[in-house]
Amino acid sequence: MKKTLLALSLALCIAAGYAQRGGPLTQQAVDDAAYIKANYTKMEQYIAMRDGKRLFCTIYLPKDQSKKYPIMMTRTPYNVGPYGADVYKGALGQNMLLAKEGFIFVYEDVRGRYMSEGNFTDVRPQIDGKYNATTTDESTDTYDTIDWLVKNLPNNNGKVGIEGISYPGFYSTASLPNAHPALKAVSPQAPVTDWFIGDDFHHNGVFFEMDAFAFLTGFGVPRPKPVTPDQIKNQIKYTQHDNYKFYLEMGALPNFKKKYLGDSVKFWDNMMNHPDYDGFWKAMNIRPHLTNIKPAVMTVGGFFDAEDAFGAQAVYKAIEKQNPQTVKNMIVLGPWFHGGWERGDGDTFGDQDFGQKTSAWFRENVELPFFNYYLKDKGDMTLPEATIFITGENQWHKFDTWPPKNTVEKTLYFQPNGKLSFSAPKVVNSFDEYVSDPASPVPYQDGIQERRTREYMIDDQRFAARRPDVKTYQTDALTEDITLTGPVMANLFTAISSTDADYVVKLIDVFPDDYPNPIPNPKGVTMSGYEMLVRGDIFRGKYRNSFEHPEPFVPGKVTQVKYTMPDVGHTFKKGHKIMVQVQSSWFPLGDRNPQKFMDIYKAKDSDFQKETIKIYHDTMAPSGVKVMVLQ
């Protein structure tokens, strides 16, 4: 009877832990949770910061006390639950390899979230160089937490590592400036980095209304403190089954506040009051503070991350540029969705089959060796500067730099009659035109979706090519493989009939019409003629010269619009074609542009208008896409 009750109690604890995490109660989940319960002891602890505020931690100590262990920490705004000394997480670390290797795991509610004291600030600005006994930022909170941990936790070896994905990725990055001496290894993974230029809420000044609204209706609502997740009752409820229809009927951005948000979501109001890249947004950019870095850094990102593809690459590049070469600074980029390197095998995504378990390989051959070497003095540091999975070819590559040194910049020029070529156009006064209508914006993905999907980053683009407001350019069938490694730079020469416009440029891999279908294909999709999105991004035209100081277009005047998209690592195989699509909406991913120069956050429904957009491709205005070709 006692054994039966014990087993039932364990099962209930496991179920509670996985219900909190939202994970499935599979047999593997049960086995993992049972392992954690059998091998770790949980404690809960408040740690005082230098200003007296206390932050809440859950701590898991290995039961085997025959050796000392390093500390692996994650700081999060999403809660460190399940709460309660007898209720355990279903897994520790970002994967079970770390749990079975053996670390002291620490999870901390950041200031002002859940059980921690103080006031929460989104992406709290850094205060570098202005510290005193009461001024704090995320770096000082991390420092003070580490200081307590290494001085008070039994059997720790005095070394600390930090990792986190997405928002916790930002807190990982924020640990780097003025780091505690015990902090030896940090892995920002898909880190929130710049919410105006490239992550989550904006891309190049275009407001990502679907992600922002869905996120802030829960996360952005104020909560009493301290509070556990089960006590939260004030999330904003809304119903949608067709996201395109929902956001189109929502209309202009002020309608969100009128219909749903009211005065309850402070950060939404902050965004609406800061339409340009002013001091509000600049203060939240962690990159200028990434100097004099001491810990080893391994930044991880997914090429097909719908939320923070920009962040991982931007953090790595900032550290690389602003620190001596003696700093160990690495980057890992794979064919992953947001956090996909820690979930599943990573052998497929969307309709694409990569032919190998990319995520499992990363966890075993990159992530675990990184932390073992810097925190346990275990193994050799043989990891390269850049570990990159090249899609198309579907192989891992190791590079001494990223982007690789042995690349050549080339331009894929638009040509008349929908052609695309590495040769500059030789005609004069040549252009294509289309009418952009905010009442019928170009959808970001085919079909009907309830929520923003992650697969749109890699999906078939044939649906868009059929629209008259999408211009398509493609090469002839390639006679040899072409591998692109590095940024993609749109360079458009355009004229519009009004004073503002958005531009979406998409780089696409067109499969041959007789392409042999892989066996098995993830969804049974026929790949012949498939138009795989490799990279796409949107840009608000009024920011073409400055994100700080927008400028109207002069109607009818040919104007250059150029912008850089996140890096790619992709091989266009022999027999495939390279395609570029150009359009002026990507809905409801990005908000609609009224297509007149104005503060769009204050727009009315009556402000939206059609306009005619011309894309030039001639000797004087050679529109195209610059790419880095691996030699």
Digit-coded pLDDT (tens) for 342-399:
999 999 999 999 999 999 999 999 999 999 999 999 999 999 999 999 999 999 999 9
Candidate from 156-170, 192-206, 233-247, 272-286 with smallest mean pLDDT: 233-247
AA identity, residue 353: D
AA identity, residue 508: I
- Per-residue pLDDT at 322: 96
E strand spans, 169-284: 183-189, 202-203, 206-207
The CATH homologous superfamily to which domain 409-630 belongs is: Galactose-binding domain-like (2.60.120.260)
- Per-residue pLDDT at 18: 45
**9 has a pLDDT exceeding 60:** no
**229 has a pLDDT exceeding 90:** no
Q: From CA 51, how far away is CA 145, in angstroms rounded?
A: 13
- Mean of the per-residue pLDDT values for the chain? 94
Residues paired with residue 156 on neighbouring β-strands, in sequence order: 69
Residues paired with residue 105 on neighbouring β-strands, in sequence order: 60, 72
Give percent of the chain above pLDDT 70. Answer: 95
Question: DSSP label at 148?
Answer: H
Nearest residue to 18 via CA among 34, 40, 39, 38: 34
Domain positions in the chain are: 2-194+284-291+306-329, 409-630
Based on the number of CB atoms within 10 Å of its own CB, is 151 exposed (0-12), middle (13-18) or buried (19 or more)? exposed
3-class SS of residue 308: coil
Task: Report pTM.
Answer: 0.94
Q: Mean pLDDT across the stretch 202-209?
A: 98
Based on the number of CB atoms within 10 Å of its own CB, is 237 exposed (0-12), middle (13-18) or buried (19 or more)? exposed
Alpha-carbon separation of residue 550 from 395, 472, 558, 597 (angstroms): 42, 28, 17, 9
Q: Classify residue 382 as left (phi > 0), alpha (psi -120 to 50) or beta.
A: alpha
pLDDT in tens, 329-345: 999 999 999 999 999 99
* Residue 205 structure tokens: 């000044």
| Sign of CA pseudo-dihedral 104, 108, 114, 118 | positive
Candidate from 37-51, 218-232, 356-370 with smallest mean pLDDT: 218-232
More confident residue, 134 or 439: 439
Based on the number of CB atoms within 10 Å of its own CB, is 380 exposed (0-12), middle (13-18) or buried (19 or more)? exposed
pLDDT band, very low/low/confident/very high, at 21 (cuts 50, 70, 90):
very low
In what side-by-side order are the strands of the sheet with 183-189?
40-48, 54-62, 104-109, 69-76, 156-165, 183-189, 296-302, 329-334, 386-390, 395-399
Q: Mean pLDDT across the stretch 533-544?
A: 98
Specify the CATH number of the domain 2-194+284-291+306-329. Answer: 3.40.50.1820
Phi, psi of 495 (to 5 degrees): -135, 140
- Per-residue pLDDT at 525: 83
Cβ neighbour number for residue 3 with a 10 Å cutoff = 7
pLDDT in tens, 84-122: 999 999 999 999 999 999 999 999 999 999 999 999 999
